[in-house]
């Protein structure tokens, strides 16, 4: 494909592999670098141009948009497979089914995938399938794998993870209450789920559902189970789709789904009764890194749009091009700083997962979960403002990116929950720090004595009965 796509410096294009932060380079294999460059080209030359085609093939009409299956995505998938850009997300140290990259290496690729609406699905690296495939591959029985994993890994079907419920505060997952009752060899499911992302797509065949199977268990984290449910099971109804800051995200979409006496055979249980929390927690870690790196890529694209606007010769308010306005350059610089710092935080978290596991990287993951979406929104806001009316309209991808970015502050736990957890963990150091500071003060007193000095305040001003003399 033609060269001009990738020109982005005064001296020609610098490939993605050369832009890896120096601190991360020891963790990237030569093979991953080559793939990374391929991902960049695929995204810039194939996926981004296809995004608008995808939108147009999705069409119009509430129902029709969700029934649509844009042809372009299948063509992209075929190209991606041919290029070997497929299932890069499955980390090599845990799964044999993937492309053999580490979380860090995939993280670098995910940044580029995040620049396009179609790129993640085109490479079979789209949420929530990625996490769902990890669940089945990691915790699934052979039978479960046989039924679902191949089709998912092959991009033939899609899946949804059904956790959040509208009637409770599901930011605290112990509140989840979809009823699971045993009836012989079956579980009977009753309740409702929303924010079932991906459920709009006609190809979404598998629901991974969290429910309450043992409500009276004294351990609040043992009351839940996770079960695999075929989307065509009788009793399941998609009632409506949810919009996200005005966008319907069709055909993928976010479903509001009811369960009415839905019978699921017990062989579909994942990991075992009462182990829902275990499944959920194992699933979330890498997924958050993927989201975060895609968000870094979105931010880079927003900055690219911002820079393009600043240099658009047609846009000259008050006789100067936009880049001649110092305040615009200051915003560019701030964006550059924030994006670069965020990327490093995500890569560090990815390495932590690679070297141990998501549980050990809890702090690092929570940090980027909070930091990155806010950064993305800030960068987007500056770009939007530089575009004026065009920035909020359909004429740039910025508005839709903002919509996705905003939800990132809510999905997989709102900022507040992560902050509270981070704050609590950090606070555990408090008592020992109090002791340390006291010990240091005691040492100071010893030293003062050693030097023949009295403890004395810098503003020592002894006045006895101070008002007595003027």
What DSSP character marks residue 24?
A: G
Q: What is the nearest approach in angstroms of a copy of itself to the Cβ of residue 189?
A: 13
Number of residues that bind a copy of itself (CB under 8 A): 179
Nearer to a copy of itself, 120 or 273 (CB): 120
Q: Which helix (H) or strand (E) holds 330?
A: helix 326-355
Residue in 73, 298, 399, 412 binding a copy of itself, rule: CB under 8 A = 399
Query: Does residue 24 belong to the site contacting a copy of itself (CB under 8 A)?
Result: yes
Residue in 231, 284, 293, 299 binding a copy of itself, rule: CB under 8 A = 231
Tokens of 95: 């799964």
Burial of 209 (0-12, 13-18, 19+ CB in 10 A): buried
Residue in 108, 228, 302, 347 binding a copy of itself, rule: CB under 8 A = 347
Residue in 31, 181, 336, 359 binding a copy of itself, rule: CB under 8 A = 336
Nearer to a copy of itself, 213 or 342 (CB): 342
Residue 274 forms beta bridges with which residues? none
Query: Does residue 465 belong to the site contacting a copy of itself (CB under 8 A)?
Result: yes
- At residue 438, the 3 state secondary structure works out as helix
Residue in 214, 263, 312, 357 binding a copy of itself, rule: CB under 8 A = 312
Tokens of 62: 């509430």
Residue with tokens 């927003």: 302
**Of residues 119, 330, 310, the one with CA closest to residue 302:** 310
Nearer to a copy of itself, 143 or 416 (CB): 416
Nearer to a copy of itself, 87 or 400 (CB): 400
Contact positions with a copy of itself (CB under 8 A) in 129-188: 164, 166-172, 175
Q: Which stretch binds a copy of itself (CB under 8 A): 240-248, 268-276, 280-288, 291-299?
A: 240-248
Burial of 161 (0-12, 13-18, 19+ CB in 10 A): buried
Nearer to a copy of itself, 184 or 319 (CB): 319
Q: Are 132 and 205 in contact (CB under 8 A)?
A: no
How far is residue 396's CA from residue 296's CA, in Å, rounded to a whole number?
Answer: 18
Residue in 202, 265, 266, 359 binding a copy of itself, rule: CB under 8 A = 202
The pattern of x and - marking residues 356 through 395 that bind a copy of itself according to CB under 8 A reads: -------xx--x--xx------------xx--xxxxxxxx
How far is residue 461's CA from residue 454's CA, in Å, rounded to a whole number?
Answer: 14
Q: What is the nearest approach in angstroms of a copy of itself to the Cβ of residue 20?
A: 11
Residue with tokens 């007193």: 445
The pattern of x and - marking residues 33 through 72 that bind a copy of itself according to CB under 8 A reads: -----------xx--xxxxxx-xxx--xxxx--x----xx
* Integer CA distances (angstroms), 372 to 176, 291, 346, in order: 27, 9, 8
Angle at 421 between CA 217 and CA 90, to 5 degrees: 85
Contact positions with a copy of itself (CB under 8 A) in 417-456: 417-424, 426-437, 439-441, 443-444, 446-448, 451, 453, 456
Query: Does residue 95 belong to the site contacting a copy of itself (CB under 8 A)?
Result: no
DSSP-derived secondary structure for 432-459: HHHHHHHHHHHHHHHHHHHTT-----TT
Nearer to a copy of itself, 43 or 273 (CB): 43
Q: What is the nearest approach in angstroms of a copy of itself to the Cβ of residue 377?
A: 9
Residue in 83, 190, 214, 414 binding a copy of itself, rule: CB under 8 A = 414
Residue in 184, 216, 218, 326 binding a copy of itself, rule: CB under 8 A = 326
How far is residue 249's CA from residue 254's CA, in Å, rounded to a whole number?
Answer: 8
Residue with tokens 């299956």: 69
Tokens of 462: 């002894």
Residue in 163, 332, 358, 362 binding a copy of itself, rule: CB under 8 A = 332
Long-range contacts of 395-400 (CB under 8 A, 24+ apart): 396/305, 397/51, 397/117, 397/301, 397/305, 398/302, 398/305, 400/117, 400/247
């Amino acid at each position: 494909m033609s060269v001009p796509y990738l020109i982005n410096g005064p001296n020609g294009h610098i490939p993605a592999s050369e832009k890896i932060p120096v601190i991360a380079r020891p963790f990237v294999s030569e093979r991953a670098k080559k793939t990374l460059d391929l991902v960049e080209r695929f995204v810039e030359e194939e996926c981004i141009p296809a995004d608008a085609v995808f939108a147009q093939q999705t069409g119009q009409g509430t129902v029709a948009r969700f029934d649509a299956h844009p042809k372009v995505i299948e063509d992209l998938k075929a190209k991606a497979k041919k290029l070997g850009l497929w299932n890069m997300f499955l980390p090599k140290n845990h799964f044999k089914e993937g492309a053999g990259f580490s979380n860090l290496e995939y993280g670098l690729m995910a940044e580029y995938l995040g620049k396009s609406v179609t790129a993640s699905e085109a490479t079979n690296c789209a949420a929530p399938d990625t996490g769902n495939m990890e669940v089945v591959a990691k915790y699934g029985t052979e039978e479960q794998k046989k039924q679902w994993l191949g089709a998912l890994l092959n991009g033939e079907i899609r899946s949804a993870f059904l956790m959040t419920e509208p009637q409770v505060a599901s930011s605290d997952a112990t509140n989840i209450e979809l009823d699971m009752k045993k009836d012989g060899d079956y579980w009977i499911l009753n309740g409702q789920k929303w924010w079932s992302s991906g459920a709009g797509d006609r190809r979404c065949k598998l629901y991974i559902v969290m429910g309450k199977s043992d409500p009276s268990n004294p351990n609040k984290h043992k009351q839940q189970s996770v079960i695999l449910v075929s989307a065509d099971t009788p009793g399941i109804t998609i009632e409506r789709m949810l919009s996200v800051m005005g966008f319907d995200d069709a055909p993928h979409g976010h479903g509001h789904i009811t369960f009415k006496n839905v019978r699921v055979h017990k062989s579909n249980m994942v990991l075992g009764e009462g182990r829902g929390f275990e499944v959920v927690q194992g699933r979330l870690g890498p997924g958050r890194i993927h989201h975060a790196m895609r968000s870094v890529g979105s931010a880079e694209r927003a900055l690219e749009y911002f820079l393009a606007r600043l240099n658009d010769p047609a846009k000259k308010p008050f006789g100067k091009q936009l880049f001649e306005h110092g305040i615009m350059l200051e915003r560019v610089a701030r964006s550059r700083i924030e994006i670069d710092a965020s990327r490093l935080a995500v890569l560090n978290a990815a390495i932590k997962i690679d070297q141990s596991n998501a549980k050990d990287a809890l702090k690092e993951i929570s940090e980027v979960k909070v930091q990155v979406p806010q950064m993305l929104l800030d960068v987007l806001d500056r770009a939007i403002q530089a575009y004026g009316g065009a920035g909020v309209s359909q004429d740039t991808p910025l508005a839709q990116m903002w919509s996705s970015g905003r939800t990132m502050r809510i999905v997989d736990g709102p900022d507040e929950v992560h902050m509270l957890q981070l704050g609590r963990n950090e606070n555990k150091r408090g008592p020992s720090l109090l002791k340390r500071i006291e010990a240091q003060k005691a040492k100071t007193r010893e030293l003062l004595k050693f030097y023949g000095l009295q403890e004395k305040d810098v503003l020592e001003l002894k006045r006895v009965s101070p008002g007595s003399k003027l």
